[in-house]
Homo-oligomer: A and B are copies of this chain.
Amino acid sequence: MSSRPAVISASPKRDHLLATAWRLFYRDGYRVVGIDTLLAEADVAKMTLYKHFSSKEDLIVAVIRKRSEEVQDGLAGAVQAAGRSPERRLLAVFDWLKGLFGEADFRGCAFIRALSEFPETDHPVHQVAWAHKQAVRKQLVGLAAEAGAKDPPALAEALRLLIDGALVSAHATRSAKPAGIARQAAASLLKAARR
């Protein structure tokens, strides 16, 4: 018996589809990009797609889940690289943001855009996008606690507001500046939250 996993997952075609779908969905939008466009771009047959994903919606969910993991890993890496100072570790989140905003193909937050394109809160795409925001919130609570905040969940929540706002601003202005504004505000909030 081969060691093939029970769930159909690790497949080169599947990965290639996910990567291409991510690129197009993020660039143009989840709804506006059609299956045929995606297949032409990926150079993959339609039946192959529907063998790996039950529907376009299912594909979108998978794309968002994968991106969520990448973002969480990137964030955790940036925090770890920031050293041991709890304050610096917390503010490293905003430096990481600045880097993200500076990328040439930055088009805003894929998760906020998913929440917007699928505004019904019980829609699977909406829910998986929101699950990402909650995962980030968890990371922030840890950092806030480390940094000695009196009420870590409260500080984390405020920081998330700053981050989401910065993501929106950076998208529309095509600028990394909002990261700096958010960073300064975060430092101020942290100071106040320690007292």
- Chain A interface residues (CB < 8 Å from chain B): 27-29, 31-32, 107-108, 112-113, 115-119, 121, 126, 129-130, 133, 154, 157-158, 160-166, 168-169, 171-174, 178, 181-182, 184-185, 188-189, 191-192
Complex interface: chain B residues within 8 A of A163 (CB)? 165
| Nearest Cβ on chain B to A125's Cβ, whole angstroms | 12
Complex interface: chain B residues within 8 A of A119 (CB)? 27-29, 107-108, 113, 171
Residue of B nearest to A164 (CB): B165
Complex interface: chain B residues within 8 A of A164 (CB)? 161, 164-165, 168-169
B108 near A116: Cβ-Cβ < 8 Å: yes
Besides A107-B119, A161-B164, A161-B185, 11 new A-B residue pairs in contact (Cβ under 8 A), listed by A number:
A112-B116, A113-B116, A115-B171, A116-B116, A116-B117, A160-B169, A161-B169, A162-B162, A163-B165, A164-B165, A188-B189
